[in-house]
Each structure stands twice: as structure tokens, then as C-alpha cells.
Amino acid sequence: MSDKIVYSTESGDLRKKPRSGAGQAARRRDGIVRVRKERAGRGGKTVSVIQGLDLPEDRLTLLAARLKQQCGAGGTVKNGEIIIQGDKVAFIAGVLQKEGFTVRVSGAS
């Protein structure tokens, strides 16, 4: 019998997860913070996802707390991404630019 983990209560079925390729690794380290609106897999609720922040976990959590407070919305940090409830993409991009990050809004508006 194999000792390979195939299910996690946090991530679900690990057999269906795509393997991280070289393109994803290079994208995360290019110094550009990407902010996008997302609704898929969230029960129809819209969230703003921030990825590409090259910060340690504790600083990422502090930034998420500050963004949640400024947006007046809930959110979380998951898998190195900050997820804020609601469509706050433009506001978040503006805040991050003021803090000195290079920001790109991804996806369609």
C-alpha cells in the first residue's frame, strides 16, 4: 500500500490538484503583485485575491488585517494569497501602490 497522501481536510482531494509548474514559480517571483476578482467555487460570492506578495507569513497576516480594516470587509490568508471579501480590486490596488508595491490588476472587470 502506498503512503502517498491523497486527501486533506483543508485542501480536499490532492489527486486533482495541478502540479505547480515552472511558469507559476516564475510568476510569483517577478516582483509584481497581482490583484484579481474571483467568484468561481465560492458559492456565487465575489472576493478579491491578492497574489505575488513576497512577504513572510507574519507580515502577510499583518498586511491582510490592515487591508480588511481599510476595506471594511472580512478576509483571510491562504496559500500565500490574501483573500478579501467583496469586489475591492481597485481600492486594494491603490492602497498597495501607495505602499510601494508594483501592482497589476488581472482578469476582466
Residues 63/53, Cβ–Cβ less than 8 Å: yes
Residues 31/54, Cβ–Cβ less than 8 Å: yes
Pairs from 14-19 (Cβ < 8 Å, separation ≥ 24): none
Between 109 and 45, the more confident residue is 45
Residue-wise pLDDT for 28-51, tens only, equals 567 899 999 998 888 889 999 999
Residues 33/53, Cβ–Cβ less than 8 Å: yes
Residue-wise pLDDT for 46-69, tens only, equals 999 999 998 889 999 999 999 999
Residue type, 91: F
Between 92 and 24, the more confident residue is 92
Q: What is the pLDDT of residue 23?
A: 47
Angle of helix 57-71 relative to helix 89-98, nearest 10 degrees?
120
Q: What is the pLDDT of residue 6?
A: 79
Residue 76 has pLDDT above 70, yes or no: yes
Q: Which domains does the chain have, with CATH numbers?
A: 29-106 (3.30.780.10)
Residue type, 15: R
Residue 1: which pLDDT band, with cuts at 50, 70 and 90? low
Residues 49/36, Cβ–Cβ less than 8 Å: yes
Q: What is the pLDDT of residue 7?
A: 77
